[in-house]
Each structure stands twice: as C-alpha cells, then as structure tokens.
Structure 1
Amino acid sequence: MSATTSAEALAALPLPNKPGPAFPAFSRLALIGNPNSGKSSLFNQLTGLNQKVGNFPGVTVDRKSGISQLTSQHRAEIIDLPGTYSLYPKSLDEHVITDLLYDRRSAQYPDFVVVTADASNLRRNLLLFTQVVDLGLPVVLALNMMDVAEQQGVRIDLAELQRQVGVPVIPMNARKGVGVAALKIVMAQEVGPSSATFYQPSAELRPLVEQIRHRFGLENDYLALHYAHQFRHIKFLTADERAYLLALTQQYDFEPTARQAEETIARYVRINELLLNTVSVTRTEKAEPYSNRLDKVLTHKVWGYLIFFAVLFMLFQAIFTWAQYPMDLIDRGVAGLSGLIQAHFHGPLVNLLTEGVLAGLGGVFMFVPQIALLFAFIAVLEETGYMARVTFMMDKIMRKFGLNGKSVVPLISGVACAVPAIMSARTIENWKDRIITIFVTPLMSCSARIPVYTVLIALVVPPQKVLGLFNLQGIALMGMYLLGLGAALVSALLMKVVLKTKERSYFIMEFPVYRWPRWKNVGITIVEKVKTFLFQAGKVIVAVSIILWVLASYGPGEALARAEARVRAQAAQQRWLPAETETRVASAKLQQSYAGVFGRTLEPAIRPLGYDWKIGIALLTSFAAREVFVGTMSTIYSVGQDADMRTVQQKLAAEKDAAGQPVFTAARSFSLLVFYAFAMQCMSTMAVVYRETKGLKWPLLQLGYMTGLAYVAAFAVYHLLR
C-alpha cells in the first residue's frame, strides 16, 4: 500500500479498541523507536519549532520535547526518547526509557506511546514494538519509510497486520509529512492497550512474577519480569526494594542473560509468523544497492578520509567567506546604533546602554551567521546519513588512541557544544573509554570558540586567496579545529596509558540509508541552535558586559578623578590634540577603575604570555563562557571612548601598548588563539562533567590539565613568534 494513501488507509481500516471519548484536552505522548527508523523526522513534523531541550528528571541525558496541536481541541506534549533496539538497555541513555515506561506513578508517565518502525525492515523493528505492547501500554505503530519499502518491493497487508498486532497501524513517510495528519487523529483518541500478547513468562517463572506483582502492586506480568531483570538500574526503586528483588532473584536462581536470550528467541518466532502472514516481497534486488556502491567510496581507507577532509575544508571556508558580509553588516549596524544614541542622548544610563548592553549584544549577534552555517552543515551531514559513515571510518583511528568507536559521536558533537557532547558519551558502555571521551571532548573546538577565533584570525591573517580559490582565513580556522582534534587524541593516548581496566569495548552501528536532506528539518535545527546560542550564551554575555561596564566606569575613592586631572595637566604641558587627550584620559581612568585593579592584579601571571591587564580581564570573564571574550573586549574598549562608531574588530586593531605599538600582533594573537583552543573556560562543561562522573575529581583534573596545557602552549607560541 502506498504511503501516499495513508489517510485513506486509516479511514478504511477498522481500528482495534475503537476510539472512545477523546483524551483530555492535553496529554503526554512518548515517541520511541529503533535508531534510523525516522523517529526524529516524525518528532520534527509533529512539533515543528515548538521544541525545547532539557534533561530527563534525575539524569543528564538530553530530553527533547515539544507541543503538537493534534486537533483543534487537543494539544499534546511529545517526548522524544533516545533510540533503542529493545527494552533491555545497554547504555546509560537507554535507561531513561525504562525508567519512564516502568514508573506509572511518575508525573512524566506517558498517556500514550507511538512506536516508529522502518517498514523496509519490519523484522528487526518489531522486537521493540512487541515489548512495548506486552507492557500493557496504549500503543500506535507508526509504519515509517513506506516509500523505501515500496522501492525494495516490500508489500505490507496493513489490515491483516493491524488485526494481528491489535493496535492502530499508520503507514507513513515522516520525512515528507505523509501520514502525519492520520497519526494525529489517532493520537487524539483514547486507544486502549493491545489485546495481543507476544510473550508470556514460562511456568517456572510464574512464582517469581507473582511475588513481584504482589509486592509492587503491578498489573502486568511482563513489567514484573523486567523488575527482576533490571532492578539494579531502575532509579525509582528504593534500597529496600532493590534488596528484596535481589533476594528474590537469588531464591529462584534467576539468570537474566539466559532468560533474555530465551525471550528474544520466542519473540522472533512470533514475529516471523506474523510477517509470514502480512508481508510479501514482489521483487528481489539483483543489482548491488546504490548505497553499497557509494559506501565503497565514502568509507574507503584512503578516499574516505580525503573526502571527509574536503568536506571539513569546505565547511570552514564557508564559515569565513559566506558569513563575512552578514557579520560585517551586523557589526556596523550595532556600532552605528550605538553612535546614533550617543549623538542625541547623554548621561550614565546612555553610557550603560551603548558601552555595556549594546557592546555585549554586538558580541552575540555578530556571530549568528557563523553559528547558523556551522549547524546547517552538521544537520545536512546527519540528514544525508554521511555522519554515520564518518563515525565508522574514525573507529579504527580512535582505537589506536584508547577511545571507543562510539567516542566519535561526542567528539564530532563537541564541534557544536561540549555539554550535549559529553552527555552523549552515555552510549559508551566501557567505563575507561567513557571517562577518556568525557575528559578530552572539551579540547574539540566548540561553536563558542568561533567568535574568538574569528576576531583574532581576522586581525592577523590577511583575507587573501590561496591558489585563487581558498580563503587564507578559512584555512587558519580549520587549522584551529585540527589543533583541537590533535590535542584531544594525544591526551586520550596519555590517559590510555594511565587508566587501567580489563573491560573490552566494541562498536556496532547500523548505517542509515542515503537520503537528500529535508530542508525543513535542517531549518528547524538551525533555528533551535541559534536560539540556544542567543538566549543561553547571550544572557551570560550581556550580564557580564553590564557588570564589566560598571567595574570599568567606577573606581575606588577619587582614583578616576585624580587620573583624569593628571592626564589633562600633562596634555596642557605637551599640547596634545583634543582627540588624543580624550583617548588618554579614557585609558587612564579605565586603568584606575575596579576592572583595572582586577586586571593589574592578574597581569603578573599572564605577562609571560604577552598579555596585558585588559586581556587578563577577558580571560577571567571567559570562564563564564568562552564567547564572552569578544563582548568583554568590546565593552573594555568602548568605555569612555568617543569612537563608538568603530566595529569590534576595528577597536581591537586600533589598540596600542605603552610603546605605541599595536597590542594584537601576530605573536600575541596566535598565543591567544592557542590559549582559547586548549583552556577549560566553560562553567557549564565543568558542571556537566561533575554530574556525569558523580564527583569533583574529574572536573578538577580536567580544569588543571587543560589550563596548564593552554598556558604552556600559549607561552611557547608567543616566544617563538615574537
């Protein structure tokens, strides 16, 4: 049956457990499915831009949820659960699924579960579906990728399949939105649990199951069996309840591994019978699939790496070349607005607005084009299925450095942001591989470093073409990312030697089919990531900018007044021009301000790196968030200056030292670039490492190691280039 007729198919099919009264006007629905089953596409179709990212209660695994308008009178919260192949979790992120679906007393417990399944590979996908059904949950089977199934000659008798599974079956093509309307209609109805049962605990397990049901007040045999399997990892159980289950499983000599294998075999026997009656293949693929031929090139041991390197090269060229015009436009716009306000209004509040708030906002908005481009490229690579191939290719390299193939996902994600990247390390079962991955991921250059890299590279690297085609600044930016990758790999190799464990790691993954990206999904990703940058990083930057303006505009006692009087007296003696006088007055007052006092206190420690007290203030504030550097420098160089029409880059380029030489020379700028490439300047990252490792040991070691590495490397670069 064609996916394009899903709405008609729904109307024609007699729904099991015929819809009764509609759910309350608002309900909570969970979306679950195998990896690569189209779950994310369906989530985006259902929620659009009404999405938010948080954490599941009590854990630090990313939780995506969103609001969907199912009907004119019914709205629902859609919870996007991590992809999994079964309800027997193998990694930490999969445990949130069982914690959510097993705890019926939880406020987060779903009213309804939608299981997405790849219609072209039903045998594998139905294992998870049958487990969810046997839990007694209200379920709908979203039969996704019907277009792929048809291309492969797979025909599904939807009416018979629906009759046998006992729940509504909706044929779909989630990427194109086909079947979404039909799914919403069903989701807005009160469909009860399936009447079908796919697995029953054996007779010898009955006493164990009955006792668990009685002790915990459960109504479902299969849920009671899962308590026996997974009580060590179910978070909502108390210590006494775990002790009871431990004693009970020992009493009945319960072997979880053997019982799980027995259940899986029984389920596949039942699934095979079901598919025999509902699925037929009308043609066999004789020629080698196109994706296999493409994989021979894209995952080749030589060409694969060269192609990946070329993709990265194009990405960084685009970040500098394509984003330059809108960045300059935003920078000039903010500077122009600031100058316009100062030309017509005067007073402390006006100075706060122009030198504090607007200077800080300029440091946020200016880099939106680059952030958008970065996430657009990443989204396209994921949408097409290429990112999975990159993970596979990098597995061999990662293992030489003591990392798991699954470490590639956090490392690549670290290019966007270290916080969710570290959270994604929960998919790594091996303790040693997971700790090493968490430790080295912040060395990958995240999007927060882009503002720092962009400004400093633009100061010292000319925007000229190499070979008439490649932008030299883009090459320098790519060099910074490769530097971060190299540091992460070398650090991982050192930790491989230091940490000892007998655990063996493995890497198994399924390649998704190649597809053209769905531009709607790419657009949603860009908007969500830019919103996160603006509202999370932006709040910090603006807050820091305002505090800095206050610290830079006021000082202890009469220090500022005395500094101004001293400079004006000197100006009168040496007959300086009015513009030069005002610039020197502003500089002297800034030096005597509270910010100047803090900066000069820090200066002796950073002077060996070539940094002055102003740069020291930026380093200090950057520990809130790395991107604060640009906002800090913009604020510091705005306070008291008349040339507010200048852009951030122009302010830094015009800064002179005591000898009248440019502050941001090649030696000092590259030293700063290296420092920011290695330093652990992100409180959010430290917080998530603390939560993930459950202690202060690893975040403190990480802070000490990365700060020391940054200091030594910056010192070496400054003195080599000096």
Structure 2
Amino acid sequence: MSEIYKIALAGNPNSGKSSLFNALTGLNQKVGNFPGVTVDKKTGRSAISQSLDARIIDLPGTYSLYPKSADEYVAYEVLLNPKSKERPDLTLVVADASNLKRNLLFCSQIIDLKLPVIIVLSMMDIARTKGITVDVKGLEREMGVPVVVVNPRKNKGLNQLKKTILQMHASTFQPLVDFVPLQESANNLIQKVKRVTNIESNYGALHVASGIDNIEFITKEQHRQIKEAITSCDFHKGKIQAEEVMQRYERIGRIMQATVAEESPLKKQLFTEAVDKVLLHRVWGNVILLVVLFIMFQCVFWLAEYPMNWIEGSFAWLQGQVSHILPQAWWSDLLVNGLLAGIGGILVFVPQIALLFGIITLLEDSGYMARISFLTDRLMRSAGLNGRSVMPLISGMACAIPAVMAARTIENKKERLITILITPLMSCSARLPIYVILIALVIPSHTYLGFIKLQALVMMGLYLLGFFTALIVAKVMSILMKNKENSIFLMELPVYRAPRWKNALMVMYEKAKIFIFDAGKVILIIALILWALASYGPPGKMDAVEKHYTTIAAAQNDALTIIQSEQKATDKLEQSYAGLLGKTIEPVIRPLGYDWKMGIALISSFAAREVFVGTMATLYSVGDADETSVPLRQKMANEKRSDGSKVYTLATGVSLMIFYAFAMQCMSTIAIVKRETKTWKWPLIQMAYMTALAYLAAFITYQLLK
C-alpha cells in the first residue's frame, strides 16, 4: 500500500496555482470546507510514484502572510498551526515568473516558517513574452530551496516536479538560515510564544503574536499568556511588520538583480494591453460583455437541444415499454410514474447545466472573467458595493452556496453582508431547468436574422433581470445600513490565455455528476414521496371517484373511453393527499395565474428549486391512462383548466418564471447564509424580502399579460 504524503499548494491569486492543482490531480478531486469555516477546500489525489501517493490541498490564494480576508486566514492557519490536520509535509509555492518580485515576498515568508518548500515557477512563457529571463539555478541558490519550472496548461515540467517532490520526501531538508533576520527587540516575545504554543520557527511565533486576535487554533489560556507577553515586551506589530517587509524587498531586489534580466518595457507592446483597450473600453467593453452573455445563452439553448430531445424521447419510450411489459399494480406504477419519471426529470437538464459551467470555465480560463469585475466596478459602486462583489454574483449564476462563501474575500463587513443577501437573486443553475421548460412551453421558437433565437433572448433577459434587481436591492440596503467603513477595490488582471478544452470538459463532467448525485437525490426522493401523496388519498374520497367511474364503465359494457380514463386520473389526483394540499393553497396563488398542481410544485421546491420539474414530471405521470408515455413538455402544453382554456398561457408561464427568478426556494442557501452571518436574523430577512418580491412581481406580471 502506497504512503499518503500531504502537499499544500500556496501562492498569490492568478499565479497558476489552480492550473497546477488540476494538472496534478486530474479528476481525482473533491471540494469541501476547511474545518470550522465555510471556505472552499479543494483536495485531490496525485500519484507521485508507485510507492508515494500525495494528497494535494489547494489553499486559498493570498499575497502575503499578513491576511486581510477570511479565506486568507485559512491559508494562514494551515501553514502556522503545528497541530492542524491539514498541516502539509511539503509546500509547493507557485510563483508567477512574469511578476516574480511580488511573488517572492510570499515565498520568502513561507521559507522562514521552516517548512519544506519547493518554488514552482509558472508562466515562464508570459515572462518571455515580456522579455524576462530567469536564471533558475541562480534563483534556487539565492532562495535556498529547490526551484522547478512548470507549464501545467501544457503538462510540461510535471515529471521534474514529481522527481523533486520524491527527493524532498526522502530527505529531511529544512532551511536553516532565516531569509531576513528578525529584530532583536522581538526575541524575548518570540521565545515566550514558542514555549506557549509549541510552534517551532521564530517567524511563525512572531506571526502568532501579530495575529493573536484572529487566530482560531489558540486556546483561551494561550491567548491570555501571549497577550501578557505582548504587553510586557512592548511589542508594536505595525512597526515590526513594516520593517520586516522592507527588509524582504531589499533582499528580493538584490536576488532579482542577480538572477533576472528584463528588457525595456517600452520595447514591446503586450497583446493583453492591446486587447484590453477594446474589451475594457467604457462603451464597447459593456457592449461586448452583453454579446458574450447572449452567445453563452444561445449555446445553452442551441447545443443542448439535441441531447435533451434524445434523453426526453428515450425516457418517454422506456416508460411506455416498461408499462406495457409489467402488470398493473402499485409497484409497477411506482416504477414507471415515480422512479422513471423522476430520473428522467433529472437527466434531461444535464446538458444545459454542463454547457453553462463549461462556458463559464472557458471564460474564466481565458482571463475574461476577471475583466467583468473591472467593467462592472463603476456599476457596483453606484449600488453601494464595489467590483469585488461581482465575482460572488457571477458565481451565483452557477450556485448560490459557493457564491455566498466567496463573499468572504470582501473585507468591508457591510458590503460583504449586502453581497450575501443579494447573491441568491442571481439566476443559478437550479433555476435553469425551470426556465428551459417554461420558455419552451410559452415562448415561440422564432429566429431573427437567421441565428438569433427569441428563446435565448428571453433566457438572457431573466439572468439580467436577476442581476439588476440585485443591484437595486443592494442600493436600498446600503442606504438602510449605516457603516462608515471605506473600501478600496484593487485587482490584478491576468493575461489572456487560450482556454483549455480539457479543463472545461473536466469541469462539465464534475458539475454534471454533482447535479445528478447531489441534486438528483433530493429530486428523486421528493418525486417518490410525491408519487405516494398523488397516488393515495382519504379512502372515502378516493372510493367515491372509483365508484363513480365504475358505474360509468358498467353502463358502457365495462369500458371507459380514453377521455373518460384521463378524467378519472385527474379526479383521483385532485382527491389525493397532494391534490388536497394544492387545493388548500390555490386561493393564495390563483391571482398569480397558478393552479393547484403548480401549488404542489411551489411547496415541494422549497427544498430546492430544481425539484419543480421533478414534481411536475411526477404529477403529470401519475395515473397515465395508456401505455405510451409522452414527454413532460407535451403533457404540460396539453393541460387544460375545467373551462377548457390552456393552463400554461404566456401570462402564466412568464409569471412563473418571474416568481422563480426572485424567490429563495432553497433550504441549503438559507443554511449557508445562517452559517456565514452566524445568526438566523439575516437569512429570515432574506427569505421574507425575496418571497414578497417574488409574489408581487409575479402578480403584476400575470395581471398585465393575462
């Protein structure tokens, strides 16, 4: 059995850390949370050799060991805490060769923690484009740790990196000399902290003293003793930090002079700068952004249509075949109209979800996603936020849960709270199945200029509606919440790179798998519960329906017509437990244009929005009169009210889309907001205002369009 070796990936944001993580781990990844916090922890397995398996931990990106945001504190504690379960045996510090001076600051700080370190130089191709050459052997000699050049996007240098990891594993290598000497005035304090905490390095002890009020792994007694030591030693952390950083940059400057040669920056105009003149233009940049978003939704509709139709038709055929083969019994009805209908309702939307995530990954990989933050910073500020809030909002297009977690990078507490409260207004992938089926039902499939689909325009409109509504709500909240704390938005724009299709395909596979096995479990369980509620009801009411149609059949030589059989199924559904529940809330939702079946779907989808489609699949499958099943969209299109009018009109369909665009309808998001804000106050406020907004907007929409 091979040994497990813990390796941490650390580095500045946009240094190539995620690319290296993907190259080392491939599909052997999983995402969880660091213990005690809701910051993403990406881990993966990598075979370093036949005898050595590594567990790779991708730490949140940070610029130095002086953290400012919650996710930076995670990386800080993993590297500092001697008793942490995530404590690495080896740290790979990824450094961007085209911005080496800034990256070496973080490298030197980790080296002084006396952790085994390998510096991984990335983006050497970008450095060469800038006219920068690096003497790798000289840099290795000056830094005192191994330096390996890699290009994870092209899988270059990975074998050499694995060989170096094996050498580090076999040795007991540790840097013996501090990169910069620590101030003698802090020596007494350092020795006291080391005794109290068992931290081995002097520099680590200094950091514990500096960040004592925010470090989680220090006990109350240790905190008290360190505080006493700080007072007795007259320790001024601001002065010590400033002197230390200046000393580091002085030495890094000498190292750069000895190992790095750089051409004059005026000699060559970078491709990135030329492209940014267009893409970041105040007018054309926003126009191009809208075009990019439209193309994304056009692709989601156009490309996903073919696999969707195939999946939908296959399940309709399968339900018909199974129904024909099996005898009529409760268990066969459960299998056909509960289990198969539920699974079909899950799988049919996998193509859209996979495509949406794939396109977002390509945009992020190319460097364009960061430009969206820059472009929208002015707009964000008008709503009382800044460009740093854009990334959680964009992430909310995929899923609100990691998007709410991503707000931890926002230092301003007021802006972070507002971002958390408005992020669920962004249309997430859970809403996508609802949008797709309703748009297909009520929006004509018109095409303009030969390629612009009306349905894609409506889809983009729903996403933009969520975004601009979020900004309006944010502005109102920023006025109501009093906070004088100022914020500054600083962001490094990565260079443009050719997106990696392999990486996009890997993300598509992972997200589709998560939807099928995570969301799918919830949908399937609720679908089966709904089948039971829709198939059974109070005995007296169900017996009365059965007796009524038995009398009709007897009068017609023991046979019902197809129309009578369909009416019998509808009457039994109305008298079932699910039907009675829907009828109870129907007066409340009737002004929105909804019937009792939609009411059942609204209630069930409070668990998760995407359950709406699974609910409708179950409700429209229960009691199928014949053995030939038809796709769900066709069943919904054929649905009639008691007066013979269509249920899914333009007014009803658009009202329903607007309701789901604004409603919370996600218990997991409520739970994560509670965990992030550490109180039930804000998630309850969030659910109240979103539900009220959804009801009011849906009511106005229906009344205007009906």
1:499-510 alignment to 2 at 5 Å? 499-510=481-492
Task: Between 707-716 and 575-584, report the one with greater CA deviation.
Answer: 575-584
Tell me which of 587, 602, 607 is aligned to 1:624. 607
The question of whether the paired residues in 1 share the 8 Å contact of 2:421 and 2:686 is answered with: yes
2:126 is equivalent to residue 148 of structure 1: yes
C-alpha offsets along residues 326-369 of structure 1, whole Å, 9 cap, x if unaligned? Answer: 11111111111111111101222221121111111111111111
Name the aligned partner's letter for residue 92 of structure 1: A
1:95 to 67, 73, 76: 73
Tell me if the contact between 2:427 and 2:466 (Cα under 8 Å) persists in the aligned partners.
yes
Which TM-score applies when normalising by structure 1?
0.95
TM superposition shift of 1:287: 3.2
Is the CA contact 2:317–2:629 (under 8 Å) kept in the aligned structure 1? Answer: yes
Matched, 1:53 2:31: yes
Secondary structure of 1:142's counterpart equals: strand
Match of 1:225 in 2: 206
Counterpart for residue 710 of structure 1: 694
Query: Which segment is superposed worse, 214-223 or 246-255?
Result: 246-255
| Paired residues for 1:643-722 under 5 Å | 643=626, 645-722=629-706
> Match of 1:85?
63
Contact 2:30 2:43 in 1 (8 A): yes
Q: Which residue of 1 aligns with 2:616?
A: 633
Cα deviation code 1:117-159 (max 9, x no counterpart): 0112211110110011100101111111122222333222222
5 Å-filtered alignment, 1:393-412, equals 393-412=375-394
Match of 2:295 in 1: 314
In the alignment, structure 1 residue 537 sits paired with structure 2 residue 519: yes
* Identical-residue share of aligned pairs (%): 51
Secondary structure at 2:655 match in 1:
helix
Alignment equivalent of 1:493, drawn from 456, 460, 475: 475
**Deviations, residues 354-400 of structure 1 (Å, cap 9, x unaligned):** 11111111111111111111111111111110111110110010000
Q: 1:239–1:162: structure 2 CA closer, same or farther, 3 Å change rule?
A: same
CA distance in 2 between partners of 1:381 and 1:255 (Å) = 45
Which one-letter code corresponds to 2:14 in the other structure?
Answer: N
In the TM superposition, residue 570 of structure 1 has moved relative to its aligned partner by: 5.2
In 1, the alpha carbon distance for the partners of 2:553 and 2:326 equals 28
Give the partner amino acid of 2:244: E
Counting only pairs closer than 5 Å after superposition, residues 156-555 of structure 1 correspond to structure 2 as 156-189=134-167, 190=169, 191=171, 192-281=173-262, 285-346=266-327, 347-555=329-537
Matched letter for residue 345 of structure 1: L
SS of residue matched to 1:188: helix
* Correspondence for 1:70 among 48, 62, 70: 48
Match of 1:7 in 2: none
Q: What are the Cα deviations for residues 406-444 of structure 1, in whole angstroms up to 9, with x where unaligned?
A: 000001111111100110000000011001100000000
In the alignment, the residues of structure 2 paired with residue 60 and residue 67 of structure 1 have an alpha-carbon distance, to the nearest angstrom, of: 22
Q: Is the 8 A contact 1:568 1:585 kept in 2?
A: no
AA matched with 1:583: E
Aligned equivalents of 2:57, 2:184: Cα separation in 1:
36
Deviation digits for residues 209-241 of structure 1, max 9, x if unmatched?
111112222221001000111111111112232
Matching residue's letter, 2:681? K
Q: Secondary structure at the match of 1:352?
A: helix
2:586 is aligned to 603
Distance change (3 Å), C-alpha of 1:499 and 1:670: same
SS in 2 for 1:52: strand
Aligned partner of 1:450: which letter?
L
* Deviation, structure 1 residue 715: 1.0
1:120: which partner in 2?
Answer: 98
Greater CA drift, 462-471 or 239-248: 239-248
The offset of 1:568, in angstroms, is 4.2
Alpha-carbon separation, structure 2, partners of 1:572 and 1:699: 57
- Structure 2: distance between partners of 1:479 and 1:572: 54
Q: Secondary structure at the match of 1:66?
A: strand
Root mean square deviation of aligned Cα: 1.6
1:265-305: CA deviations, max 9, x gaps?
11001111122222223565513222111111100000000
SS of residue paired to 1:600: helix
Q: Equivalent residue for 1:591?
A: 574
Q: Tell me the SS of whatever aligns to 1:447.
A: coil
Alignment partners' CA distance in 2, 1:628 and 1:54? 24
- Contact (CA 8 Å) 1:404, 1:428: kept in 2 or not? no
| Contact 1:394/1:408 (<8 A) preserved | yes
d(CA) in 2 for partners of 1:681 and 1:211? 53
- Whether contact under 8 Å (1:381, 1:387) holds in the other structure is yes
Could you tell me which amino acid in structure 2 is paired with residue 312 of structure 1?
L
> Is the 2:289–2:372 contact (alpha carbons within 8 Å) kept by the matching residues of 1?
yes
Distance (Å, rounded) in 1 between the aligned partners of 2:261 and 2:239: 33
CA contact (8 A) 1:145 1:174 kept: no
C-alpha contact 2:342 2:527 (8 A) present in aligned 1: yes
- Asked if the contact 1:568–1:581 (Cα under 8 Å) also holds between the matched residues in 2, the reply is no
Amino acid at match of 2:134: I
**1:686-717 Cα distance to aligned partner (Å, 9 max, x none):** 01100100010000000000001101111111
1:13 — aligned with what?
Answer: none
Moved more, 73-82 or 553-562: 553-562
Q: Distance in 2 between matches of 1:180 and 1:98?
A: 26
Separation in structure 2 between the aligned mates of residue 116 and residue 469 of structure 1, nearest angstrom? 44
CA distance in 2, matches of 1:424, 1:154: 34
Q: Which moved more, 1:116-125 or 1:255-264?
A: 255-264
User: How far 1:660 sits from its partner (Å)?
Assistant: 1.7
Contact kept in structure 1, 2:82 and 2:198, CA below 8 Å:
no
Q: CA deviation at 1:577?
A: 5.7
Residue range with higher mean Cα deviation, 353-362 or 189-198: 189-198
Amino acid at match of 2:417: I
Kindly indicate whether residue 16 of structure 2 is the aligned counterpart of residue 35 of structure 1: no
Q: SS in structure 1 opposite 2:111? A: helix
Partner letter of residue 289 of structure 1? L
Q: Deviations over 1:444-491 (max 9, x none)?
A: 001110100011111111111123321011111111111111210110
The structural deviation recorded for 1:185 is 2.0
**How big is each residue's C-alpha offset from its partner over 1:643-694, in whole Å with a ceiling of 9 and x where there is no partner?**
5521110111111111121111111111111100000001111011001000
Q: Distance in 2 between matches of 1:627 and 1:453?
A: 10
Q: Distance in 2 between matches of 1:24 and 1:634?
A: 48
Specify every segment of 5 or more residues in structure 2 that has no aligned partner in the other structure, as ranges: none
Q: Displacement, 1:618?
A: 0.3
Distance (whole Å) between structure 2 residues aligned to residue 571 and residue 658 of structure 1: 22
2:562: which partner in 1?
A: 579
Per the normalisation by structure 2, the TM-score is 0.97
Q: 1:136 to 1:702 in 2, by over 3 A?
A: same
- 1:80 shift after superposition: 0.6
| Maintained 8 Å contact 2:104/2:252 | yes
- 1:24 to partner: Cα distance: 7.0
Of 161-170 and 72-81, more deviation after overlay is shown by 161-170
Residue 716 to residue 66, structure 1, CA distance change in 2 (3 Å): same
Segment drifting more, 473-482 vs 554-563:
554-563
After TM superposition, where is structure 1 displaced by more than 4 Å over at least 4 residues in a row?
282-285, 570-577
Gaps of 5+ in 1: 1-22
In the TM superposition, residue 202 of structure 1 has moved relative to its aligned partner by 0.5
Tell me the distance in 1 between the aligned counterparts of 2:662 and 2:220: 42
